[in-house]
Structure 1
Amino acid sequence: MGDEGWGAWLGPAAALVIGCCLGSFYNVVIHRWPKGQSIVSPPSRCPGCGAAIRWFDNIPVLSFLLLGGKCRHCRGAISWRYPLVELLTGIMAAGLYRAFGFTPSLFVFFTFGSLLLLIAFIDLDTYLIPDVLSLGGLVLGLAAAALFPHVRWIDAFGGALLGGGLFYGVAWGYQKLRNQDGLGGGDIKLLAMIGAFIGWKGVLFTIFFSSVIGAAVGLIVMVRSRRGLAARLPFGPFLSLGAISYVFWGEKLTAWYLGAL
């Protein structure tokens, strides 16, 4: 492989490693933040026996594989979520580097993707989306649109209004018709944040994509759990998946869908 070939892979490889390392920290945030615990102190510990995790047992993905998915001290099982979050963050970083290079858009969309990942896994665990992530992300998205050219500011502002307003309208209508909550306030704020980062077109794509995938997964959950419509399923992960899918493939998937019609 020539110098040019190595150069084409060096950046994404570095992004992959950095992303995996950041994913290790994201695991701490996902585990501790909903409990109101510090994300800085104490250092990482086994949730089973409380033993401190040494640095050589805390290498992203690799340590999990070498330890066979078990704590070195108590041999208790380590959740698959830890290497998954690390790997997803690394792959996202590498993919964004390939798509945007070392540009402001790389950092904007990596920040966006990181927020989506944190929100998705916290929502899976708690059925709650922290306002500090969704509303904080909304502010960051609007600021990024004003400072960088990844999306026009007017599109970001319109996307935030469309995302938050549309879901608020749906939630209000559902509550009036059924006299019970349908969409949570966290989903409304999340979609507003999504609109701030990727504009109104991204909001429409995210709603369609997440609804299709969410309906399919929801049907499977209802059947397997045998609880029917009573089965609970957080919608935040599907919105997050739809939004990051738009960043990578939104225009191509939209063009393909419209062409198929």
Structure 2
Amino acid sequence: MLLALVLLPFGLVIGSFLNVVIHRVPRKESVAWPASHCPGCGAALRKLDNIPLLSYVVLRGRCRECGAGISPRYPLVELATAVLFAAAAYLLGPSVELATALILVCALVALAVTDLEHQLLPNVIVVPALLAGLVLSAVANPAGWWTYPVVAAGMGGFLLALALVYPGGMGMGDVKMGAMLGAFLGGYAALAVFLAALAGAVVSGVLMATGRAGRRTRILFGFFMALGGLATLFAGPGLWGGYLRLLGGG
């Protein structure tokens, strides 16, 4: 419990950095320079205006210099990252598994929001995360280290086949993200992709039924894979067990 409380403010800080990644990486800008600034007027943020979550509340969601509105995405990403960090610490405790989970959370939060805002799953996020997942998963489970590259290749190959069959519905970013999930989650990556497909189908059906989308409207599968990955990270065994019980009638 203490570790979870410690990771809450740490998660806010990391969430603030993820906002920088989400804003700058799709624009091919450096995440290190220049310092944080208002996207509207370009004014550098004062230190007191750059405190995660708190500054947004104090400034009432507006730039101090020009008064331009600040996207609510900033506090939402910070808060979501903090809560997910604390939840992972509570469930896993101090362990290699916790380090693995925190890196996966960072990757999935960044990819989910980047896909929503820019319809992109950048290689500079996916590829390093995939490699980190392979290394950390092997450290956490030395006896079964080989399962993670096998599953990563299998998930990537499966999604690549779908992308080739239905080229308009899935991109190579989705393929690489599926492999990344395999590197972190092993066999449970299949559950994450299944949940993503289910959620995507439900949301797509609702949007089409309400006239907000058509048959050719692109579904942001990367966003749904991120949600599926998070659900699997925190509740994978329970969800899988419930599904098996449902199939068995028990």
TM-score normalised by structure 2 residue count? 0.93
Alignment partner of 2:21 out of 14, 29, 34 = 29
Identity %: 38
**Any idea what the Cα deviations from partners look like across 1:7-38, whole Å, max 9, x if unmatched?**
x3x32111010011111011011101111111
Distance 1:242 1:150, change over 3 A: farther
Alignment partner of 2:183 out of 167, 188, 196 = 196
Q: Does 1:205 align with 2:191?
A: yes
The corresponding residue for 1:164 is 156
The corresponding residue for 2:97 is 105
Alignment of 1:86-165 (within 5 A): 86-149=78-141, 152-165=144-157
Alignment partner of 2:229 out of 243, 251, 257 = 243
Task: Provide the C-alpha distance between the structure 2 equivalents of 1:169 and 1:151, rounded to a whole number of angstroms.
Answer: 30
Task: Provide the C-alpha distance between the structure 1 equivalents of 2:210 and 2:28, rounded to a whole number of angstroms.
Answer: 33
Contact kept in structure 2, 1:151 and 1:199, CA below 8 Å: no
RMSD: 1.7
Give 2:157's aligned amino acid. G
**Any idea what the Cα deviations from partners look like across 1:111-144, whole Å, max 9, x if unmatched?**
1111111111111222121112222222221112
The corresponding residue for 1:3 is none
The corresponding residue for 1:185 is 172
Task: Provide the C-alpha distance between the structure 2 equivalents of 1:48 and 1:150, rounded to a whole number of angstroms.
Answer: 49
Distance 1:80 1:151, change over 3 A: farther
Q: Does 1:232 align with 2:218?
A: yes
Structure 2: runs of 5+ lacking an equivalent: none
Structure 1: runs of 5+ lacking an equivalent: 1-7, 176-180
Q: Does 1:13 align with 2:10?
A: no
Contact kept in structure 1, 2:96 and 2:139, CA below 8 Å: no
Bigger shift: residues 39-48 or 213-222: 213-222
Give 2:122's aligned amino acid. P
Question: Number of residue pairs matched?
Answer: 247
Task: Provide the C-alpha distance between the structure 2 equivalents of 1:17 and 1:146, rounded to a whole number of angstroms.
Answer: 29
Give 2:180's aligned amino acid. M
TM-score normalised by structure 1 residue count? 0.89
